[in-house]
Structure 1
Amino acid sequence: MILAIPSPLGVALGIATAAAYGFIAAMASRLTRQTAQGLLALAWLLHGLALAWGLTSGVPHFGFAPALSVTAWLVLTVYAIESRMFPQLAVRRVLAGLGAAVVLTAIVFPGTPLHVSASPWLPLHLALGIASYGLFGAAVVHAWLTLRAEKQIRLVAGPQTGVPLLTLERLTFRFVTAGFVLLSATLLAGVLFGETLYGTAARNWKWDHKTVFSLLAWVVFAILLIGRARFGWRGRTARRVLYVGAALLLLAYVGSRFVLEVLLHRAA
């Protein structure tokens, strides 16, 4: 799920996935809803196969691009489920473009091998962290949809045919809450079992960029949930806090690994 292997079959699956996503993004306005949904489902399946191939063959790799790839796949999974309940959701072009970009990035930057002394439980720990990325990513998408719905309400006086604004708002905070729970579990596991997960060379606690940005993101999301529960935060205020937290979380792992892998050309 969270691993990438630079093998010929893995590259072929990645290219096929990116091509499917790219076709949807380019032709979305000309495709019927049913056709677009079917093609997006095919691209999602290819994406899942590419990720599964990374789990079952070769030496496991992990990096910023595979993390982004899985995050996008999780967001698309959420969209696939929600589009059944809310057919009015119309973000196929955006999500398809995002999928194509991250899959191609994962082909170019497949990550670095996991440390040989790492625990067999490390993939589960990483999966929890990336799952929280996916849930917060879904929350950001829904916050953007909420903003778009608000603009439509201001500009159009007639009846609205999209997903109700309050429904989008509730969905946004449900994803934030679920992401916060997984992020808390990930951080707690890192604090309590860091040496077990990463090997004897690792300390239980290390004040590096990943730790600092992760804790800052956790604090921001906690403030957002408290503000929602105690003060009824919504609209622009809630979105701004959500965007800040998501940006900090993105910097925590993806940002630090991007610097190490791409700019400094060395493993973490």
Structure 2
Amino acid sequence: MILTFSAGWGLATAIAAALAYAVLALAARRLSEASTRALLFLAWLLHALALADGLLGEPPRFGFAPALSMTVWLVLSVYAVESRLFPQLKARWALAGLGTAAVLLALVFPGSSYHLIASPWLPLHWALGIASYGLFAAAVVHGGLMNRSERSIRSATQADTGVPLLTLERLTFRFVQAGFVLLTATLAVGWLFAETLYGPGLAGQWNHKTVFSVLAWLTFAGLLTGRARLGWRGRKAVRLLYLGSGLLLLGYAGSRFVLEVVLKRV
């Protein structure tokens, strides 16, 4: 499966990205601030090149592992921007470990080849879906930091997230709101252009991907409504965020995992 990368370029960049992430994950607390930033940027850039090789190669390939890898790359992109605004944000080693796992997973399972894009709407549908994945994943990371900070406050210990609890909460739900908008657009494009995207007779078809995606949309809609109308926050809100994100993960990545790994339909 690894040999599907074009001319060794994708293989080389993927291995280099995984190594850079691994070094950062293992040595983040011993490196200087400048060295950490430089290594994170290098890993991020190599990761992007590996993703580009899979998406733009001959033939282009995509599947559950590249989708997860791109999601992690988007989360790291968000973190890179946020760390400029909140230098005290402490999540580099964990995200670097996640980056290592995501790159290696995409290396082993590069996905299905697409010799011909069936519709010009399909890249837009993919882009909206992956962007929503990335935003909800960023929300999950911030929700985890928020839970950790809240536990520290309850136990009267020193919080190690580096960002005030209210700031983390605000950031978490901004990502949820943005992700919800993109998920809505993804479902709308998929519903309105189903026949163009996937072929005649598929409009309105309810498969596993559609069911889980709609359930995720309903969960996020309930979360945002509950927060606006009933003031939901803290652990209850984060649990719903985790539930919705889990359903969304099952929607595409879960379905493709079953097809590619369990049923071997690549």
TM-score (norm 1): 0.93
| Count of residue correspondences | 262
Match of residue 54 from structure 1: 54
Residue equivalent to 2:121: 121
- Kindly tell me: are residues 158 and 245 of structure 1, through their superposed partners in 2, closer, same or farther at Cα, counting changes over 3 Å? closer
Matched, 1:179 2:218: no
| TM-aligned CA distance change 1:262 to 1:32, over 3 Å | same
The equivalent residue for 1:21 is: 21
Deviations 1:168-191 (A, max 9, x none): 101100000000000000001111
Name the SS of the counterpart of 1:71 in structure 2: helix
**CA distance, structure 1, for counterparts of residue 52 and residue 30 of structure 2:** 32
Q: Residues 139-166 of structure 1, C-alpha deviation per residue, up to 9 Å, x if partnerless?
A: 0000001011112223346798821111
Gaps of 5+ in 1: none
- Cα distance in 2 for residues equivalent to 1:124 and 1:12: 29
Q: Secondary structure in 1 aligned to 2:162?
A: coil
Q: Secondary structure of 1:29's partner?
A: coil
Match of 1:262 in 2: 261
Provide the secondary structure at the position in 2 that maps to 1:204.
coil
CA shift at 1:29, angstroms? 2.0
Percentage identity across paired residues of the two chains: 65
Shift of 1:31: 1.3
Asked whether the equivalents of residues 48 and 73 of structure 2 are also in contact (C-alpha less than 8 Å), the reply is: yes
Q: In structure 2, give the amino acid aligned to 1:152.
A: S
- Alignment partner, residue 212 of structure 1: 211
| Maintained 8 Å contact 1:115/1:198 | no
TM-score normalized by the length of structure 2: 0.94
Please report the RMSD computed on the Cα atoms of aligned residues, expressed in angstroms.
1.7
- Rounded to whole Å, the distance in 2 between the matches of 1:161 and 1:208 is 40
Q: Tell me the CA shift for residue 52 of structure 1.
A: 2.0
Closer, same or farther in 2 for the Cα pair 1:157/1:9, shift >3 Å?
A: closer
**Counterpart residue number, 1:66:** 66
Answer yes or no: is the 8 Å Cα contact 2:61–2:113 preserved in 1: yes
* Offset from partner CA, 1:99-134 (integer Å, 9 cap, x none): 010111101101002363611331121010010000
